Structure 1
Amino acid sequence: MLWAGWRSEYIVTAGEPDADGCLFCRLPAGDDEETLILERGAFGFAVLNRYPYTTGHVMVAPYRHIEGPAELNADEQADLWRLLGNAMDAIDTAMHPDGYNLGANLGRVAGAGVPGHFHLHLVPRWSGDANFMTTVGDTRVLPEDLTVTWARLRAASSRARDASPE
């Protein structure tokens, strides 16, 4: 038996309406370290997932509350892709994954934990990363605490931004 107590908060509240409104609309008003925001852009932000599939699981969302990618304007599209690239650079620098899964769950039936506010998932993967557990046991195996991951990626993200020609 494996125990992942930190997941219980998500499991218990999944599917319940958020009393404080949309998570992605609320996060930017908070402190970066408290909310796990890695980077803020002009039109969106990158945030570490509090309920990750793997260590380093990042989400990228626009500030504007929209349901799907077709509603993004050109500025939002460009900013989200820039934020996504910066997050990948930070993860590559800090964690050296062997690959990534990138995607969006559009709608509750598609697996969206926050339906109604479009966001992308960037999930680092490693050879032999034991993610079969998700399929057979609905369990995640994470070797590192979220606050440690946030600090590593935030530091790597700053280094990546400082080194990139803009």
Structure 2
Amino acid sequence: MLRPMTIEPERQNGVGAHDGFQRLWTPHRMAYIQGENKPTGPEAGDGCPFCGIPEMSDQDALIVARGKHVYAVLNLYPYNGGHLMVVPYRHLADYTELDGPETAELAELTKRAMVALRKASGAHGFNIGLNQGSAAGAGIAAHLHQHIVPRWGGDANFMPIVGHTRVLPQLLADTRQLLADAWPVD
């Protein structure tokens, strides 16, 4: 089960008195800040991470489930613990470019993601959506991906609002395993 994290006060280091501040270290965010894993262009061969992910093992890629046309993967830079994305294997940018089987499977894996997140983490609700184009907030606009963000009552505390920092209580690999174990099968 995903659990909240406590922040420990920094211990006195022998150089001076404790300053009373608590510190939350999030070094994994530096990759996102510096634009790591961003494609260099709009084509599949331009370093699109969503095209490379399926070539990796589920554990290394943080893939929770694979379908015939789409796969579900944890977001490397999540808004909340358990933030998943459902991504078509085919490199396309716009929802209207999906064919019928891709559209149906994207919807089906989204439903299964919700079931798995409720089972693994007791999610109270979800934000589900597609950001179509960089003007709409798509970090990787060239490859369609649908976000499934679990939400809990009170999960928007002072950290994201004042500190512009999300607190994630669990390693992504551990979250991936919980969700893979909770994933519903046919």
Same-fold call, TM > 0.5?
Answer: yes
TM-score, normalised with respect to structure 2: 0.79
> Where is the helix percentage greater, Structure 1 or Structure 2?
1
Give 1:65's aligned residue: 91
Instruction: Give the number of equivalent residue pairs.
Output: 160
- The TM-score normalised by the length of structure 1 is 0.88
* CA-CA distance at 1:99 after TM superposition: 0.4
Aligned-partner SS, 2:28: helix
* Matching residue of 2:35: 13
Unaligned runs of 5+ in 1: none
In 2, Cα distance between the equivalents of 1:155 and 1:132? 32
Task: Give, as a single letter, the amino acid of the residue that structure 1 aligns with 2:101.
Answer: D
Query: Runs of 5+ in structure 2 lacking a partner?
Result: 1-22
Paired residue for 1:51, among 61, 77, 88? 77
Q: How does 1:5-154 map to 2 (within 5 A)?
A: 5-13=27-35, 17-18=39-40, 21-130=47-156, 133-154=159-180
Deviation at 1:131, TM superposition (A): 5.2
Give the deviation of 1:15 after TM superposition: 9.0
Determine if contact 2:39/2:140 at 8 Å carries over to the other structure. Answer: no
Superposed displacement of residue 137, structure 1: 2.8
1:4 is aligned to 26
Contact 1:131 1:140 in 2 (8 A): no
**Distance change in 2, residues 1:131/1:52 (3 Å):** farther
CA distance in 1 between partners of 2:182 and 2:130 (Å): 24
Q: Which has the larger radius of gyration?
A: 2
